Amino acid sequence: MSRCQQCEREMTTNELGISLRLMGRDGKILLCRECLAARLQVPPETIDKKIEQFKNQGCPLFV
Ligand SMILES: [Zn+2]
């Protein structure tokens, strides 16, 4: 199970997926939904929307 590098919370599969898509596929930066939103200076709902978007595109990183 991956943990957020900032708050050390366990990340869900979709959180891991969106972190890889937005912060780089090498996984050097792993952030949960909230920390990702804070880093990108967007509301967490924007992260949810992006997860939905990638999921609908059939991206295998999302469930
Ligand atoms: Zn976090």
Q: Ligand 1 mean position to 1 CA, how many Å?
A: 14
Q: Check whether 1 has a pLDDT greater than 90.
A: no
Closest CA to 34 of 56, 5, 61, 55: 5
Q: Ligand 1 mean position to 32 CA, how many Å?
A: 4
Percent of the chain with pLDDT over 70: 100
Q: What's the domain range around 58?
A: 1-63
Q: Ligand 1 mean position to 57 CA, how many Å?
A: 25
What's the number of domains the chain is made of?
1
Q: What is the pLDDT of residue 39?
A: 97
pLDDT tens readout for residues 2-17: 999 999 999 999 999 9
CATH number at residue 63: 1.10.10
Closest CA to 4 of 37, 45, 35, 46: 35
